[in-house]
Amino acid sequence: MSEQFDYIVVGSGSAGGIIAARLSENGKHSVLCLEAGEKDENYFWSKIPAASAFLFDDPKANWRYWSEPHERYGDRPLYVPRGKILGGSSAINGMVYVRGQKQDYDHWAQLGCTGWSYEDVLPMFKRMENFDGGEDEHRGRGGPIRITEASKVTPFYDLVIQSAVNLGIPRNPDYNGGDQEGVAMAQGSIHKGRRQSTAVCYLEPARGRPNLTIQSGAEASSLIMDGKRCVGVRYQVRGEAREARAGREVIVSCGTINSPKLLELSGIGQPEILRQHGIDVVHALPGVGENLRDHYAVLLKYTITQKDVSQSDISHGWKFIREGLRYMLFRKGFIAQSMGAARLFFRTREGLESPDAMMALIPYIPILENGERRISRQRGLSMFAHTQRTESTGSLHIKSARPEEEPAINYNFLDSAYDRETNIRAIRKARELMATPPLSDVIGEELEPGTDVQTDDEILDYMRHFGQTTYHPIGTCKMGRDPMAVVDEKLRVHGLEGVRVADASIMPTITSGNTNAPSMMIGEKCADMILSDGT
């Protein structure tokens, strides 16, 4: 026996959580939201912003993938965390809220994604947010996701802002307004010291609706196809095989890693890959799993010579206890916000229309030892600086027909000369910032990469061996009209009926900044298109 719904949304993450909530809002449609993760919006560690460090490799809330090793990044596998919990990666991420630039979306429209220019997506961004800085032509005030600017919990932030201004990077009061360029305190999807995931802001308020079924611990294993029409989903709940039928549509929102995997397991993708794993080809689509992009960066680490500038001073001993109390009583302090609370968006070349690189500054040195993450007692800071619109593309494909097997994630970082050169320029700019007063007055030693890493070749070699992703994979079911596009501008899978893909995987190119806000916007837009089509 199959259960019957109008819509089935597979995945409850940044995009899927919003789609399920919006489609069930008017009460006219029955909606099933399937989520592989067991934990919901009440998961303790997900609520506290600073506890995102614990979620980083928490098997209860994280898929904990690894990429294939590649010589381009030192023959190492790279860690690929992804949320496996109600709210998906929005429930485990760093909560930094960056929409990207007007130019990112206008570029999508130029690529043939009609309806995705900045002017088109702006109402979606405004609809989803409640920005504490107020409403204007660019910002929204009434939406479900509360957005707040981080506070300057140590004098570190004023030093960073002043040094950036002295370096010629202007102060920007709102990088999510019309113009991204400048230095600013990060905005976060945080309200009163609590994470604002899509589970908290969209699904929790929608839970009581009789027409919405949220099924956690339910991992989709394939789509049910009737010829070229998708009619439902097969899934597993704690080892029990189930299926559900969709009278109208299935929306695949499993994220950049799992959406192409689910399509391939369902016989949709490159025929030679499907046949290699004994899967019947239902529909040939060469772009499935291709165009994998992400940001790639190294962490620079410096010591700080002055007391009470670095966050390490308040992260240990009695001062930490005081911070804990401050958080419990007032929901304030560093525990109440994300770790990289200062952001710089800047140009690495003369004559560019908008910033091509970014820097995130962290007021301490993180230590990762034996799987444990903590803040070093050594006074210091760390930062990453990298290109915003990476051009290197990799791929992601199934390794077998078994749904429980991880896909092969093949990044191709630093393949593009543009990425290599822009990353090198961004690192040089970061070093210039450290050498600019007033920050330079408190900076001690460059611990990493270290002063012996100077020439372009040395920096590149260091990047290859010590770089990491910044957890923004996108693009593996890209939207567009070219032969490698997987979905059209309405997010319908090319050549099929009854199935859309809506999550970070549909981005044709990567946005300038973090990818949670754009993924949530994709969720809002998908729901809007479905409801206004009446399909």
Ligand X SMILES: Cc1cc2nc3c(=O)[nH]c(=O)nc-3n(C[C@H](O)[C@H](O)[C@H](O)COP(=O)(O)OP(=O)(O)OC[C@H]3O[C@@H](n4cnc5c(N)ncnc54)[C@H](O)[C@@H]3O)c2cc1C
Shortest distance (Å) from residue 384 CB to ligand X:
12
Q: Provide the mask over 353-382, with x wherever binding to ligand X is found by CB under 6 A and - wherever it is not.
A: ------------------------------
Structure tokens at 99: 């929409």
Binding ligand X (rule: CB under 6 A), the pick from 96, 430, 453, 486 is 96
Binding ligand X (rule: CB under 6 A), the pick from 82, 107, 301, 379 is 82
How are beta strands 65-66 and 79-80 bridged, if at all?
Answer: antiparallel
Query: Which CB atom, from 17 or from 449, has the smaller least distance to ligand X?
Result: 17
Binding ligand X (rule: CB under 6 A), the pick from 36, 161, 251, 344 is 36
Considering the rule CB under 6 A, would residue 312 count as an interface residue with ligand X?
A: no
Considering the rule CB under 6 A, would residue 95 count as an interface residue with ligand X?
A: yes
Binding ligand X (rule: CB under 6 A), the pick from 16, 49, 267, 498 is 16
220 within 8 A of 84, measured Cβ to Cβ: no
Shortest distance (Å) from residue 303 CB to ligand X:
26
4 within 8 A of 245, measured Cβ to Cβ: yes
Shortest distance (Å) from residue 162 CB to ligand X:
25
Separation CA 360–CA 368 (nearest Å): 19
Shortest distance (Å) from residue 512 CB to ligand X:
12
Q: Please list the active-site residues.
A: 472
> Tokens 């702006």 appear where?
122
> What residue is closest to ligand X based on CB?
13
Structure tokens at 513: 């900044």
Separation CA 235–CA 239 (nearest Å): 9
Shortest distance (Å) from residue 166 CB to ligand X:
27
- Residues of span 207-266 touching ligand X by CB under 6 A: 219-220, 253-256, 258, 262
Considering the rule CB under 6 A, would residue 291 count as an interface residue with ligand X?
A: no
Cβ-Cβ contacts under 8 Å for 52 (sequence gap 6 or more)? 45, 92, 93, 94, 95, 195, 338, 339
> Tokens 């009926």 appear where?
497
> Among 23-31, 35-43, 151-159, 351-359, which window interacts with ligand X (CB under 6 A)?
35-43
Evaluate the omega torsion of the peptide bond into residue 449 and state whether it is cis, within 30 degrees of 0: yes
Considering the rule CB under 6 A, would residue 388 count as an interface residue with ligand X?
A: no
Query: Which CB atom, from 84 or from 379, has the smaller least distance to ligand X?
Result: 84
Binding ligand X (rule: CB under 6 A), the pick from 20, 180, 514, 524 is 514
First to last CA, the chain: 25
Structure tokens at 528: 């809007």
Separation CA 211–CA 487 (nearest Å): 28
Shortest distance (Å) from residue 238 CB to ligand X:
13
Shortest distance (Å) from residue 8 CB to ligand X:
10
Considering the rule CB under 6 A, would residue 58 count as an interface residue with ligand X?
A: no
Of 447, 504, 457, residue with least CA distance to 479 = 504
Query: Which CB atom, from 10 or from 424, has the smaller least distance to ligand X?
Result: 10
Query: Which CB atom, from 260 or from 449, has the smaller least distance to ligand X?
Result: 260
Query: Which CB atom, from 195 or from 425, has the smaller least distance to ligand X?
Result: 195
Cβ-Cβ contacts under 8 Å for 405 (sequence gap 6 or more)? 398, 399
Considering the rule CB under 6 A, would residue 348 count as an interface residue with ligand X?
A: no
With 0-12 / 13-18 / 19 or more C-beta atoms within 10 angstroms meaning exposed / middle / buried, residue 138 is: middle
> Among 6-14, 204-212, 459-467, 476-484, which window interacts with ligand X (CB under 6 A)?
6-14
Of 510, 523, 526, 530, residue with least CA distance to 108 = 510
Number of residues this chain uses to bind ligand X (CB under 6 A): 43
Separation CA 321–CA 337 (nearest Å): 17
| 24: phi then psi, degrees, rounded to nearest 5 | -95, 0
List of residues contacting ligand X (CB under 6 A): 10-16, 34-37, 56, 81-84, 88-90, 92-96, 98, 219-220, 253-256, 258, 262, 338, 471-472, 503-504, 514-517, 519
